[in-house]
Amino acid sequence: MIRKAIFPRCYLQGKDILNNLGGIGELETKKLFVLGTNTAVKQIIPVNLSSWQQICRIEYETFSGKCTWDEINRVRKIAASHNCDFIMGLGGGKAIDTARVVAWQLGVKYIAAPTIAATDAPTASACVVYNDAGAIVDYFTTANPDYVLVDTRIIARAPVRFLVSGMGDALATWFEAETCDRSHFKNICGGLNLRAVMAMAHLCYQTLLEYGRAAKISCEHKVVSPALEHIVEANTLLSGLGFESGGLSCAHGIHDCLCNLEGTHDYYHGEKVAFGTMAGLFLETRPQALIEEVYAFCRSVGLPTTLKKIGLEKVTDSQLKAAVQLVFDNKESYLHNIRVDLTPEGIIDAIRMADAFGGKEKN
């Protein structure tokens, strides 16, 4: 029985930390290639470029917006031509994943610098590659970042929906890690869970309950408060370590089912994971008090608690069955990381129950 966990080499978080590139000593006199989103290239790089150039040599490129193999190959050629020592992904999850793959392919050090706290991608080794239509074509692991730089002033200025979505993704962390640990399922990095990881996953959940509402208010007013700092850490670090070294289960499996329904395509990953978490509570027959606690949290921060709130108000059972069956038939799906007599009908019942419970609660 081998227990295993993987971590980024160094995690740095704080207000204005990006101004001096986190004070990373080994960057001095080196060449840094930055892949930035359109917003990052127009708003973040220009105000920091002069200070960055005092630390290292800088080259940068605008990310296309899609993490596809065409984009990865395009960026790799540009980065290789600059003979860089470090590559930094500056933006959301897809920009970070693209830069991560390129750094791995070129064998150079990698820095993840998220500009939103919507997912736990920044700390991870896992990468998702899509086609031009937005469908997943590859899922694999590279290496965890050498550095993660999380500038909370930048995140506080991002749309609040990103932060809330990140809380939805983080919400699944404890429940999925506990399910995998209880049933001795292997985590994403291929081992059984360590007690340290379980403690971090539980801390992630506790942090959401305690600071989530205040952090949302902070973001709405673009204020970097202690609550915001705590939630950014939960969304990024605790959730990232928790999912990769704790494991995924039915919340992300149900998310994958929901993604097969067109009505959900305008909703963020974390919003669908949050609903998947709620459905998972019924699938695993969790205690009533815990279910009520999770729903109360979701309502307090604005996460969806009904199918209507993820674009599926009129979804039929036959549509749900077709969407669920696609994932259920994949025996490698995280949906199967659960010790119950799993059937497509049972999953649909859990989705319907989650919707009904959310509809009965006061708004």
Residues annotated as catalytic are: 169, 252, 255, 269
* Cβ within 8 Å of residue 272, ≥6 positions away: 168, 255, 258, 259, 264, 310
CB neighbour list of residue 192: distance below 8 Å, 6 or more residues apart:
1, 2, 3, 4, 181, 184, 186
Would you call 174 helix, strand, or coil by DSSP? Answer: helix
- Alpha-carbon distance of 190 to 193, in angstroms, equals 9
CA distance 232 to 240: 11
CA-CA distance, 21 to 89, in Å (whole number)? 13
For residues 208 and 297, what is the distance between their CA atoms, to the nearest angstrom? 8
Residue in the block written with tokens 């940068």: 60
362 vs 126, 296, 303, CA distance in Å? 38, 9, 14
One-letter identity of residue 168: G
CA distances from 178 to 149, 245, 248, 285, 339 (A): 29, 12, 10, 14, 12
Of 157, 2, 5, 142, which is closest to residue 72 (Cα–Cα)?
142
Ranges of beta strands (E only) in the chain are: 10-14, 31-36, 57-62, 86-91, 109-114, 126-130, 136-141, 147-151
DSSP 4-53: -----SEEEEETTGGGGGGG-GGGTTSEEEEEE-HHIIIIIHHHHHHHHH
Q: What gap in Å lies between CA 92 and CA 114, rounded to an integer? A: 6
User: What is the chain's length?
Assistant: 363
